[in-house]
Chains A and B, each alone.
Chain A
Amino acid sequence: MHSISRYRIPFVVPAMLCLAGGVLTGLVRAGTNLPEQLSFNAAIHSILVISGFFGTVIGLERAVATQRLWPYLAPLFSGLAGLALLLALDLTVVSLLFTLGSLCFVLASIHVYKKHPATHAMVLLLAAALWLIGNSLWLLQGTFWTSIPYGLSFLVLTIAGERLELTRFLPPKPFSKIFFIAIVFLIIVGTILSGFNGFIHNTWLGIGYAALAIWLLRFDIARRTIRQSGVTRFVAVCLLSGYAWLLVGGLLLTDLITLGVFQRDAGIHSIALGFIFTMVIGHAPIIFPAVMRVPIPFSIIFYIPLLLIELGVSLRLCAAFLSSTTLREAGAVVNAVAILAFILCLLWQVRLGVRSIKNPHD
C-alpha cells in the first residue's frame, strides 16, 4: 500500500514558495499592481523560478532516483537558497547556497551516469554542469544576469536528456543521434556566448533551442503515444505543444527576427512556461506520486491549466507582435491563474489519492 513520503515534504515546501514568489514577481514585472506585502523585488523573478523552484524539484526528483540519502543535499541547499532569496538575505549567501546545491546535483548526476553510462545520462550531467557553472559565475562575479542562460539551458537540456532516453523505444532513425549531439553542443556554445553578453544577444542559443524543438517534434515518442488514452495521451499533448513553444521561443531569442520591445519577454516565457512548465503539468500525475508516494488519479481537469498556459503564452506572443503592454500584462495574469489552477488540480487529485489510501475498498 502507498504511504505518503512525509520526509520529502520539507523539500517541496520551499520549492512551492519559490514558485509563488516567482508568480508574484512575474506579475510585478508585467506591470500588475499588487499589495505592498506581496511585492517582492521583481529582479529576482528568473532566479526564483529557474533555480528556486525548478532546480529544487528536479534535485528532489534526481535524489529519489538515486535511492541514496546524500543527493538530497541538492534540493536542501537550493531550497534554502530560494527561501533566503524570498527573505531578501545577502545575495552572496544566496548564490553560495545555489552553488552548493548545484554542485551536489552534479555529483548526483555523476552517480546516475556511472550506474548507467548512456548518452542520455551524459546529457543530464552536462545540463547539471551548466547550472553549476552559472551559479558559480554568479558567486564569483556578484551579478546573476550571466547565470540566467545557464539556468535556462540546464532546464532545457534536462528535458532533452530525458526525452532522448525515451526515444529508445522507437526504431532508430539514421543520424538522429548525431543531430541530437550536435544540437546539444550548439546549445552549450550558445549558452556560453549568451552568458558573456549578459543574455542580451542570444542568436546561437535561440537557434540551438529551435533546432532541439524540431528534433523533438520529429523524433519524440509523443508522436506515437498521443494515440493512446488517459494520462499517456495527456503527457503526449503537453509534450508536443511544449515543443512547438520551444521552437517559437528559440526563434524569438535570436536576432534573426525583430519585433517590438517585448520580443525577448515572449521568447523567454514561451520556453519557460510554454515548454518547461508544460512539461511539469504533463508529468505531475506521474512524477508527483513517484516522489511523494501518494497516488494521483488522472483526470481531464488537468487540461484546464494546460489550456490556460497556452492562452497566457499566446497573449505574450501577441504582445510581442503588437508591442502591447496590456496584452503582456494580460498574458502574465492568465499564466498566474494557470499555475494556480494547476496547483488546485494537483491538490484536488491528491485528496482523492489520499482518500484511496485510507479507504482502499471505496
Chain B
Amino acid sequence: MAMTTSASTSKESILKLLETIIDPETGINIVDMGLIYEVTPSNEEVFIKMGMTSAACPMGDLIIEDMNRALSTIYVTPNKIDIEVTFNPPWEPSMMSEAARKEFGW
C-alpha cells in the first residue's frame, strides 16, 4: 500500500503546504509565525515538532487538524504524520520569519 502520493516529500514542499495554514488572529501563516520548529520527512512518514504562542490557546487541536489535512495530500496514511507540540523552547518573536517581523513593524 502506498504511504505517500507522488508529490515531493521534501522539507521545502512540506513547509509550503504548512504555509497555507493561517492564524486568523494575526493573518500570518504558522510557518512565518515561527511555530514550526522541526520537520523530519521521509518517503514513508513525517515528524513535525512545533510550538504554540500560548499554553492557554484552545486553537492547538484545530491547527494540528488543519496540518494533518494539508499533509494528507502527501502522506495518505494518517498515522504516518507525527506532530508533537512543545513549549521547550517557548515561542518567542525572534522565531518569526523576516516577512512576518516586517509585517509587525520590527
Task: Decide yes or no: A168 and B24 within 8 Å by CB, A65-B57, A121-B56 being known contacts.
Answer: no
Q: Are B55 and A116 in contact (CB under 8 A)?
A: yes
Residues 1-34 of chain A: 1 if any B CB is under 8 Å from the residue's CB, otherwise 0?
1100000000000000000000000000000000
Flag if A232 contacts B24 (CB, 8 Å).
Answer: yes
> Majority SS of interface residues in chain A?
helix
Partner of A168, one of B53, B58, B105: B53
Q: Which residues in chain A, 154-211, are within 8 Å of chain B measured between CB atoms? A: 161-162, 165-166, 168-171
A341 near B: Cβ within 8 Å? no
Please indicate the chain B residues that have their CB under 8 angstroms from the CB of A225 in the complex: 25-27
* Interface class of chain B by DSSP: loop
Q: Which of B1-9, B13-21, B36-44, B87-95 is near enough to bind chain A? A: B87-95
Which listed residue, B24, B54, B56, B90, touches A286 by the CB 8 Å rule? B24
A221 CA to B96 CA, complexed, in Å: 15
- Residues in A with CB closer than 8 Å to B25 are 166, 225, 232, 235, 286
Residues of B near A286 (CB, < 8 A) are: 24-25, 59
Interface residue? A83 (CB, 8 A) = no
Which of chain A's residues has its CB closest to B87's CB? A116
| B-side contacts of A116, CB under 8 Å | 54-55, 87, 90
Question: What residues of B have a CB within 8 angstroms of the CB of A65 in the complex?
Answer: 55-58, 60
CB nearest neighbor in B for A113 = B55
How many residues of A are counted as interface, with CB atoms below 8 angstroms from the partner's CB atoms? Answer: 42
B93 neighbours in A (Cβ, 8 Å): 168-169
A228, CB-defined interface residue at 8 Å: yes
Residues in A whose Cβ lies below 8 Å from that of B56: 62, 65, 109, 112, 120-121, 124, 161-162, 165
Task: Tell me the smallest distance from the CB of A296 to a CB of chain B, in Å.
Answer: 10
Q: Which residues of B contact A109 (CB under 8 A)?
A: 56
Q: Mark A325-347, 1 if CB is under 8 A from B, else 0.
A: 00000000000000000000000
* Alpha-carbon distance between A228 and B22 when the two chains are bound, in angstroms: 13
Tell me which residues across on chain A come within 8 A of B104, comparing CB atoms: 169-171, 221, 224
Identify the closest chain A residue to B65 (Cβ): A2
Chain A 223-258 near chain B by CB (<8 Å), digits 1 or 0: 011001111100100000000000000000000000
Tell me which residues across on chain B come within 8 A of A285, comparing CB atoms.
24
Measured CA separation A229–B22 after assembly (Å): 13
* B62 and chain A: residue at smallest CB distance: A290
B53 nearest CB neighbor, chain A only: A165
Cβ–Cβ < 8 Å partners of B103 in chain A:
224
Whether A67 sits at the interface, judged by CB under 8 Å, is yes
User: Do residues A224 and B60 form an inter-chain contact, with CB atoms below 8 A?
Assistant: no
CA distance A224 to B101 in the complex (A): 12
Q: Which B residues are in CB contact (< 8 Å) with A120?
A: 54, 56
- The residues of B that contact A169 with a CB separation of less than 8 Å are 26, 93, 96, 104
Once A171-B106, A224-B104, A224-B105 are accepted as A-B contacts, the answer to whether A232 and B58 lie under 8 Å apart by CB is: no
In the complex, what's the smallest C-beta–C-beta distance from B50 to chain A, in angstroms? 14
Is A354 in the interface zone, CB < 8 Å from B?
no
**Partner pick for A171 among B57, B61, B105, CB 8 A cutoff:** B105
Which of A61, A229, A287, A290 has its CB near the most chain B CB atoms (within 10 A)? A290
Task: Please name all residues of chain B whose beta carbon is closer than 8 Å to the beta carbon of A62 when the two chains form the complex.
Answer: 56, 58
A291: interface (CB < 8 Å): yes
Contact B105 A170 (CB under 8 A): yes
- The answer to whether B80 has its CB under 8 Å from any CB of chain A is no
Given the complex, which residues of A lie within 8 Å of B69, measured CB to CB? 1
Please provide the chain A residues from 272 to 293 with a CB less than 8 Å away from any CB of chain B in the complex: 285-287, 289-291, 293
* B58, B69, B92 interface centre (most CB from chain A within 10 Å): B58
Besides the known contacts A64-B61, A221-B104, 20 further A-B residue pairs in the complex with CB atoms under 8 A apart:
A1-B69, A62-B56, A64-B58, A65-B55, A65-B56, A65-B57, A66-B55, A115-B87, A118-B54, A121-B54, A165-B56, A166-B53, A168-B53, A170-B104, A170-B105, A229-B27, A232-B26, A286-B24, A290-B59, A290-B62
Can you list 5 pairs linking A and B with CB atoms under 8 Å apart?
A62-B56, A112-B55, A116-B90, A121-B56, A286-B59
The 6 A-B residue pairs with the shortest CB-CB distance in the complex, in nearest-first order: A232-B27, A116-B55, A115-B55, A64-B58, A228-B27, A65-B58
Chain B residues near A (Cβ < 8 Å): 24-27, 53-62, 65, 69, 87, 90, 92-93, 96, 103-106
